[in-house]
Structure 1
Amino acid sequence: MSASQEGGLQQRLSVFHLWGIAVGLVISGEYFGWSYGWAAAGTLGFLVATVAVAAMYVAFIFSFTELTTAIPHAGGPFAYATRAFGPVGGAIAGFATLIEFLFAPPAISLAIGAYLRVQFPSLDPAVAATMAYVAFVTLNIVGVHIAATFELFVTLLAVAELLVFMGVVQPSFHLSNFLAGGWAGKDHFSMAAIGGIFAALPFAIWFFLAIEGVAMAAEEAQDPRRTIPRAYIAGVLTLVALAFGVMIFAGGSGNWTEIANINDPLPQAMKRSVGNSSGWLHMLVWLGLFGLVASFHGIIMGYARQIFALGRAGYLPRVFARLHPRFRTPDVATIAGGVVGVATIWSDNVVHIAGQSLTASVVTLSALGALLMYIISMAALFRLRANEPDLQRPFKAPLYPLAPAFALGMAALAFVTMIWNNREIAAIFAVLMVVLVTGALAFRQRGLEAVAEPAE
């Protein structure tokens, strides 16, 4: 009997662990990546984009929680879409989610390497990124409780550091700094501002991308129908507060255009307030690493569960559904995702797509996968409400059908916007999805036929 047959995933995660996963999955997005939205839309335009995206995520999480508590499954969106739309819908949702979670970690690991290079100039970021994969793949295999406890610890440190950042730059904050040139580089609203707001939507999404990964820990949660709603709601409210706090305080601390096109806006904003040699600045650089580690580590947990669920359902080879005989974690799935990530890291300076490095391109692929998954998940919510009205729903989406309809519409709008602004990468995403979904359905069908054949 295989390890995967001898028992399931261990249910050891408390509401605090799940909150740590929810916030930790996302919190690196508060440290870097979002400031490019200022370059696209200005501070006020990006503020509008962030308000819209934050509203989308709040509506989405409150609606998504209904699915997670009704169908607590390691596959998350894959399970909901399968139940609502059958194998094809499940495959689309499953592989969209897998693309989101598989391709975000290489970019984060390289950011970890870049942070470490500030302190150790001779360290190659690719080497550091690879070491990060080895360390956190190992930690994830050793045990989910240990991994989730570590995730909670680094998430708390990362949240504390963002609060410290706001407190340190507050004395230099002036609203006039934030308002200057706030509409796509102008002081007044114009048609260009509208285009800037749409262009900035992907960067606003970066503030919240991957929070839905808690759903993939549902089979490992204690009493998931009670703990998951609490963790999700507390997590999304935490992230909304941090996103607006970081963005507003950074933008008002000086000339925001100086930090609109850089990958480390927080240290640069703090530098203007306390100088280059301040201990606060060095603390931000070091503790900022914890924000990156929290997201990196949490997303590894997410992709491992998604690969595991797809393997268990027959869409991938059954070896990916193996559980470690001692630790009861999906070890093969965890390692497989790590191999893809390391290969991406070392291809970063070799492969270029649409004039971008490979890592920059796969971040866009990740966001496209997330938005497609949001659309399918909200559609599944409506379908299950209609087809299975008696399904036990410990948590029901508030303001139904308005909240899930708003989340669905906003996700569709953001998805179309990203396709329009990233046509070459969107074409690659479409081809990748067609190949993966078609191949997985064929693989599953062969497996079903093999089981159905009578033994000779």
Structure 2
Amino acid sequence: MTLSSNDSPAGPRAGASPSPVDKGLRSGSVGLLGVVALGLSSTAPACSIAVTLGLVTMTVGHLAPAALLIGFVPILLTAFAFRELNRDMPDCGTTFVWNTRAFGPWTGWLVGSWVPTMATLFSMTALAQVGATYLLSVLGLDGLADSDAAVTVTALLLLAGATVLARRGLQIATGIQYALLGLQLVALFGLGLAAFTRPGAATPSLSWLNPFAFDGAGPFAEAVLLCLFIYWGWDALITVNEESSDADRVPGRAVLISTFVLLVTYLFTSFAAVGYAGTGTTGIGLGNPDNATDFLAALAPPLLGNALAALVQLAVCVSALSAMLTSLVGSGRGLLSMTTHGALPKMFARIHPRFRTPAVGTVFFGAATAVTLVVLKLASPRFLGDAILCIGLLIACYYGATAFACVWHFRHRLRDSVRDLLLKGVLPALGGLMMLAALARSVYDTIAPDYGSTSFLGIGGVFLLGIGAVALGVPVVLLVRAHFPRFFRQGKASVAPPTTTEFARNES
């Protein structure tokens, strides 16, 4: 993309946000509430808390709420980076565009695109499986829910349905998300209220939020890493920035709103669950290994009865499905942006003439997820579990890089005001450092052969999958560079036109 006459030094005001290239999407098709709903749905709140709170409690006991609160801090600091970068460069390519602009095409392609793509692929395989298992259980087909083949086939069918919906348009996807998200929040808050009012439940204590009460750095770090996964996914809402009203402000506001809604929901649920079930290792206790990956299944029947417990099961099912749908919406737009900037084949830029969606990219990502699911299941059912555990490593990698990209991109504007210094510099830098520490800890923990379900030559399968996924991106980028050399020569300047300040500095 070259500078037009309107981009000359006398054109835009200093520091003005560049307008994204028109990619053919339907602008103004979703408002603040819709964007927030997409962000919340992409985190799969009911599913995420169901499969993670037990693991957190087994690690730190009654301090699970404290882990959730501390795990929120790097997420919030990173959210400020996403908001500021979106204001300056509203583009559905998000981390790809921002990291390319800050650090160059190599970093943009590998860390800003490949790493989040691998995290999303692994996550979607898990979501499809969880959704399929819960759907079969809700339908009373418990025998099929215990069959790997039946679950896999059902997961593929659900994935195909989500792909069709994502291809049809953002308005349809957003409307469905309202209903799915509403069911999740009603189920979680209803369960929490029932737990709080049940006779004999322990009274919640502020000591459960004490960040200094952890028994050593190991359990603390492990619990916080698990909590990163609980919050992950809200950034998918930024991929619809070019289709939202007031594209440079609404997604940024939605980022902060969605993250705080998640914090309140998770803290309320964790306080209620710990107070009612306790942290014991037997019965309904959250420390019971049998409840580790689905505490809702243990708590819902005695709290709500079988009929309403089935509603909670349905909430977890739709939580997985809604997150899968949102992931497809965001991933297709990411491929569209990369193509628009000359980093992928032109077929991914094809927009459906009626629905105004990146149809090819959406279908491609749905098919890639299906292939990943089948390959991992054929390799080993336990292999898929390790793929899920390695997501935390990938999250810390690209979230941290994006936080540092914010600091580097705005480095010449940090002295403009106290606000710029804090929101574009200090807070994102702290978020990036915390993500870097989480990444280092994740690498240290996952390399152990007993971490996860598989190992090879004395190295944990979770480490091999996580680091292997990142390493695989290097030959992929080399292959892409051979086919799209222009992007790797000019990508840093072409993904977003320079502001007046940058233009003047480059000319001096």
TM-score, normalised to structure 1's length? 0.86
Partner residue in 2 for 1:16: 33
| Aligned mate of 1:128, from 131, 134, 154 | 154
Q: Does 2:331 match 1:312? A: no
Q: Does the aligned pair in 2 maintain the 1:169–1:273 contact within 8 Å?
A: yes
Q: Does the aligned pair in 2 maintain the 1:37–1:200 contact within 8 Å?
A: yes
C-alpha separation in 2, matches of 1:173 and 1:420: 44
C-alpha separation in 2, matches of 1:360 and 1:60: 27
| Aligned mate of 2:426, from 394, 398, 402 | 402
Q: Does the aligned pair in 2 maintain the 1:112–1:293 contact within 8 Å?
A: yes
For residues 86-165 of structure 1, the aligned pairs below 5 Å read 86-91=104-109, 92-118=111-137, 119-123=140-144, 124-165=150-191
| Cα offset, 1:16, TM superposition | 0.9
Please list every run of 5 or more consecutive structure 2 residues that lacks an aligned counterpart in the other structure: 1-20, 145-149, 448-463, 490-508
Partner residue in 2 for 1:454: none
C-alpha separation in 2, matches of 1:272 and 1:373: 41
User: Given residue 429 of structure 1, which amino acid in structure 2 is its aligned partner?
Assistant: A
Equivalent position SS for 1:326 = coil
Q: Deviations over 1:395-448 (max 9, x none)?
A: 968555332122111111111111112232333133223233333333321778
User: Given residue 175 of structure 2, which amino acid in structure 1 is its aligned partner?
Assistant: T
Equivalent position SS for 1:347 = helix
Provide closer, same or farther for how the CA distance between residues 267 and 313 of structure 1 changes in structure 2, counting only shifts above 3 A: same
C-alpha separation in 2, matches of 1:400 and 1:301: 28
Partner residue in 2 for 1:166: 192
Equivalent position SS for 1:316 = coil
C-alpha separation in 2, matches of 1:6 and 1:201: 40
Q: Deviations over 1:335-389 (max 9, x none)?
A: 111112112222343214xxx7232233234333222111111111111112467
C-alpha separation in 2, matches of 1:163 and 1:360: 29
Q: Deviations over 1:266-325 (max 9, x none)?
A: 131223434xx4322122112332222221111111222222222332332221222112
Partner residue in 1 for 2:297: 267
Provide closer, same or farther for how the CA distance between residues 252 and 397 of structure 1 changes in structure 2, counting only shifts above 3 A: farther
| Cα offset, 1:24, TM superposition | 0.6
Partner residue in 2 for 1:417: 441
| Aligned mate of 1:243, from 262, 266, 276 | 266
| Cα offset, 1:150, TM superposition | 1.3
C-alpha separation in 2, matches of 1:174 and 1:379: 48
C-alpha separation in 2, matches of 1:335 and 1:212: 21
| Cα offset, 1:243, TM superposition | 1.1
C-alpha separation in 1, matches of 2:71 and 2:480: 32
Partner residue in 2 for 1:347: 375
Equivalent position SS for 2:155 = helix
Partner residue in 2 for 1:283: 311
C-alpha separation in 2, matches of 1:53 and 1:432: 29
Q: Does the aligned pair in 2 maintain the 1:253–1:272 contact within 8 Å?
A: no
Q: Does 2:383 match 1:367? A: no
| Cα offset, 1:265, TM superposition | 0.9
| Cα offset, 1:34, TM superposition | 3.6
> Percent identity among equivalent residues?
18
Partner residue in 1 for 2:403: 378
C-alpha separation in 2, matches of 1:283 and 1:215: 31
C-alpha separation in 1, matches of 2:170 and 2:183: 20
Range with bigger deviation, 135-144 or 90-99: 90-99
C-alpha separation in 1, matches of 2:182 and 2:421: 28
| Cα offset, 1:109, TM superposition | 0.8
Q: Deviations over 1:7-62 (max 9, x none)?
A: 51111111111000111111231232342122223231x43332221111122212
User: Given residue 30 of structure 1, which amino acid in structure 2 is its aligned partner?
Assistant: I
Q: Does the aligned pair in 2 maintain the 1:371–1:415 contact within 8 Å?
A: yes
| Aligned mate of 1:25, from 19, 42, 50 | 42
Q: Does the aligned pair in 1 maintain the 2:214–2:220 contact within 8 Å?
A: no
CA RMSD in angstroms, aligned pairs only = 2.9
| Cα offset, 1:138, TM superposition | 0.2
User: Given residue 174 of structure 2, which amino acid in structure 1 is its aligned partner?
Assistant: A
| Cα offset, 1:157, TM superposition | 2.0
User: Given residue 435 of structure 1, which amino acid in structure 2 is its aligned partner?
Assistant: P
Provide closer, same or farther for how the CA distance between residues 330 and 422 of structure 1 changes in structure 2, counting only shifts above 3 A: same
Q: Does the aligned pair in 1 maintain the 2:132–2:151 contact within 8 Å?
A: yes
C-alpha separation in 1, matches of 2:239 and 2:99: 14
C-alpha separation in 1, matches of 2:238 and 2:487: 27
Q: Does the aligned pair in 2 maintain the 1:30–1:207 contact within 8 Å?
A: yes
Please list every run of 5 or more consecutive structure 1 residues that lacks an aligned counterpart in the other structure: 450-456
Equivalent position SS for 1:29 = helix
Q: Does the aligned pair in 1 maintain the 2:162–2:321 contact within 8 Å?
A: no
Q: Does the aligned pair in 2 maintain the 1:308–1:333 contact within 8 Å?
A: yes
- Number of equivalenced pairs: 431
Equivalent position SS for 2:262 = helix
Provide closer, same or farther for how the CA distance between residues 324 and 6 of structure 1 changes in structure 2, counting only shifts above 3 A: farther
TM-score, normalised to structure 2's length? 0.78
Q: Does the aligned pair in 1 maintain the 2:52–2:226 contact within 8 Å?
A: yes
| Cα offset, 1:141, TM superposition | 0.6
User: Given residue 159 of structure 1, which amino acid in structure 2 is its aligned partner?
Assistant: L
Partner residue in 1 for 2:71: 53
| Cα offset, 1:178, TM superposition | 7.8
User: Given residue 161 of structure 2, which amino acid in structure 1 is its aligned partner?
Assistant: A
Provide closer, same or farther for how the CA distance between residues 113 and 442 of structure 1 changes in structure 2, counting only shifts above 3 A: same
User: Given residue 117 of structure 1, which amino acid in structure 2 is its aligned partner?
Assistant: L
| Cα offset, 1:236, TM superposition | 0.8
| Aligned mate of 2:250, from 201, 224, 227 | 227
